[in-house]
Amino acid sequence: MVRDPITSESSPSPEVICSALDDPDCREIIRNLEEPMTASELNARCEIPQSTLYRKLEILTDSTLLEESTEIRRDGHHASKYSIAFDEITLALDDDRSLSVEIERPARTADERLAELWSEVRKET
């Protein structure tokens, strides 16, 4: 998967996306994520053990179905928040019978792009 933190363009394989969508815990997270939430908030809503929840959040962010951003707090204890990173997913068979995936993404504001860039920088340090 190639990910550009500035433009948020990424290209996960169809298998990675299908695998994430096939997972019942991942689908439960997506169903319960009505607004950006922390892992703790999701843990309170979903019936998924906390250690499993973190693994599933990683699967969903790696597959670009969720987006992780950083909530800056005055006390210095910043928190990751997760939000749905797609409006629609289309699976299709190409002419050569290979699977292709098209993900329609929501429009992003400058603030959202800056928050994502900050999140990516934080991961690198």
Provide the 10 A C-beta neighbour count for residue 103: 17
Segment 63-92, tens digit of pLDDT? 999 999 887 777 877 889 999 999 999 999
Quote the tokens at residue 46: 């979903």
Question: Cα dist. 79→40, 68, 84, 89 in Å?
Answer: 10, 10, 17, 28
**What pTM did the predictor assign?**
0.74
Angle at CA 72, nearest 5°, toward 56 and 48?
Answer: 20
Give the mean model confidence (pLDDT) for residues 50-56.
95
